[in-house]
Amino acid sequence: MLLHNCRRSASSEFHHLFKLLVPEKTLLMKFAFSLTVSSGVSLCFPLALQDIYNLCAVPTTSQHEIVRVVGKWTAVFGAGALSTYMRRLAIEDLSNTVAMKMRIEFFEDLLRKKYQVFGENTTGDLSHQLNSDIWTIAYTITNEFSSAMRGVAFFTGGAGFLLYTCPPLTMISLFPMMALASISKYYGNLLRRERETQAIYLRQLNSFAQERLVQIKTIKHFTAEGIELKKYAEKQTKVYNKAIDVARYSAKHHALMEAMGQNAVLWCLGYGAYLISTGSGLSVGALTAFAMYSVYAGLGFRLLASGYTELKKAAGVYNKILETKSSIDDKEEILISPTILPKSTVGPSIIFKNVSFTYPGREIPVLDNINLEIKSGEIWGIVGPSGCGKSTLFHLLTHLYAPTSGLIYIDNVDIHTKPAWWARQQISIVSQEAPLFSGSILDNIKYSNPNATMEEVIDACKRADAYDFINNFEDKFDSEVGEGGSALSGGQKQRVAIARALLKTPHMLLLDEATSGLDHQSEKTVQGILEREVKNRGFTVLLISHKIRTLKALTDRIAVLHAGKIIATGTFDELKESKHI
Ligand SMILES: Nc1ncnc2c1ncn2[C@@H]1O[C@H](COP(=O)(O)OP(=O)(O)OP(=O)(O)O)[C@@H](O)[C@H]1O
């Protein structure tokens, strides 16, 4: 019963895996055809040897006969070489096609994943799955599958020939193969378990390295290179030790397989020699072909066994990918080609009604029964001590998370009755980090509006006070910003981020401590830009700031948050009077 279940689960695992090949019908047909021909031709090799040996055994053989036999087999092996070429090409095409399609589909799945479920996997883990794991699967279901199929052909062809020509000899050469079967099964299971652990260690190493390289500046600031190197070396040693365990089992497996395979031939030849010596009628040519077929049968068995082990491993890796893939509930609708909204004359109203929120996996609510009514085009300040939930309010408005209870309205529309992009499309957010992508300044600015004209880009840059410094760069708008914008100063990065936010023609502007990471001069510049833009109105503004000057100069009203609750709302002067700010 247990065995039956194991077989059933292995076949359903493989079924999942091979479904990946189904769409590639043309390539599969090329592959199947070339595999059949090349395996068939390989199986003929011992027959060719048998022919030649038999010619040698007859001293009166004519030269013409030798040329004819050699010519016939040369043509057969020529066709075999052609089919091997086709098979290799079809396999490579298949693996790369499967990997390409899987990667695009997986990447799309990641982009569709709701932000709130994203945090369950580290980025290192995801990029390992996207690159390495998908390649392992694509490679295995093509290359290893091809080897396993050749194994089937060699084993059945070889064993069939043996049985047909001399059953007693067959029993002798197949006996070591029975031993091989149980050895392979034992080591196959052991290796699969060990390799799974090895893959986990490798992923941990990958995630660690990726995070450290992203944070290289922090490492340098804390002169922590030595500590990080030690940690990396420890993790790498764990990977190495596991790899050696795997290698040890694998080496034992191969050594036993080799010894058994050689013994199969040796015992078979020995017994064959005995049969010839007893005058049984067995020819030297037939014995040679027989010995070669027993090699084929052994080799076929070996290919089949290792193909099976590798396919099981790939099935495990594929299961992990299927687990990472989002369920329907974890996905959100995405815009394939973003549409830019027309400029609004006045921004929308925003209402938070009895909104409470607890982060997934946490128990204590971060926001507790928030009620806020922001009128169309108003500028609101959000203030409160660190950790009181100010940024979380923005996360809910931009639909990155859904409230645990309560409703959020934009222009009297409950945002959760709309796809997530509906709210995001109307919002531009400028935060402390100014996250940029590697690429040119122009790429980064047009990120919010890929169809913008150069005039619109220049206008946004002028409004963001970025035009002059961009123009002073040697490559102007084509200048590279470096990874994460590392080739720009903090103030320049922030101004590029503001230009990008403005080019989107937002209906709502969310400013999250947009100037707090800057030096005094840059802060003054960026502050000035924001004051100018915010005063221009045309959008509703929510701004998180600790700066009294900003709050006084810009806001119509302010909400004071404390431990996730709104404890006061009013104008700057009212709140000053009541000593809330
Ligand atoms: N992704 C998250 N998962 C779990 N808890 C989180 C997450 N993000 C924030 N928190 C917690 O929620 C609380 C509010 O965080 P939030 O970033 O909203 O505070 P804030 O008022 O903006 O703080 P600051 O002024 O320091 O930026 C904090 O206690 C924080 O630890």
Residue type, 467: Y
Pocket of ligand 1 (CB under 6 A): 359, 362, 366, 384, 386-392
CB 543 within 8 A of CB 532: no
Per-residue pLDDT reduced to its tens digit, 298-344: 788 878 888 887 888 888 888 888 888 877 778 888 888 777 777 77
Q: How far is the centre of ligand 1, averaged over its atoms, from the C-alpha of 393 (Å)?
A: 10
Per-residue pLDDT reduced to its tens digit, 278-301: 877 777 777 777 778 877 887 888
- The class of domain 350-577 in CATH terms is alpha beta
Average confidence (pLDDT) over 129-158: 89
In this structure, what are the phi and psi dihedrals at residue 117, rounded to the nearest 5 degrees? -100, 0
Pocket test for ligand 1, best of 390, 398, 546 (most atoms within 8 A of CB): 390
Which residues of 15-118 form beta strands (DSSP E)? none
Query: 230 pLDDT exceeds 90?
Result: yes
Q: How far is the centre of ligand 1, averaged over its atoms, from the C-alpha of 429 (Å)?
A: 17
Which residues of 289-420 form beta strands (DSSP E)? 350-357, 367-374, 379-383, 405-410, 413-414
**Residue identifier of the C-alpha nearest atom 10 of ligand 1:** 359
**Residue identifier of the C-alpha nearest atom 17 of ligand 1:** 391
Residue spans of the domains in the chain: they are 24-326, 350-577
Query: 274 pLDDT exceeds 60?
Result: yes
Average confidence (pLDDT) over 133-162: 89
Percent of residues, the chain, with pLDDT higher than 90: 35
Query: Cα–Cα distance between 125 and 203 in angstroms, integer?
Result: 6
24-326: what fold?
A: ABC transporter transmembrane region fold (1.20.1560)
Which of the residue ranges 264-268, 397-401, 429-433 would you say has the lowest mean pLDDT? 264-268
pTM of the full structure: 0.78
Among 45-59, 330-344, 475-489, 530-544, which range has the highest average pLDDT?
475-489
Query: Cα–Cα distance between 373 and 222 in angstroms, integer?
Result: 45
Query: Cα–Cα distance between 319 and 271 in angstroms, integer?
Result: 48
Greater pLDDT, 65 or 262: 65
Pocket test for ligand 1, best of 122, 388, 562 (most atoms within 8 A of CB): 388
Which of the residue ranges 8-12, 56-60, 96-100, 233-237 would you say has the lowest mean pLDDT? 8-12
Greater pLDDT, 19 or 470: 470
**Residue identifier of the C-alpha nearest atom 12 of ligand 1:** 366
Q: What is the pLDDT of residue 2?
A: 38
At residue 431's C-alpha, the angle toward residues 425 and 433, to 5°, is 125
CB 284 within 8 A of CB 276: yes
DSSP H helices in 129-224? 134-139, 145-165, 167-214, 216-221
Q: Which of 445, 427, 439 is nearest to 511 (CA)?
A: 427
Q: How far is the centre of ligand 1, averaged over its atoms, from the C-alpha of 392 (Å)?
A: 6
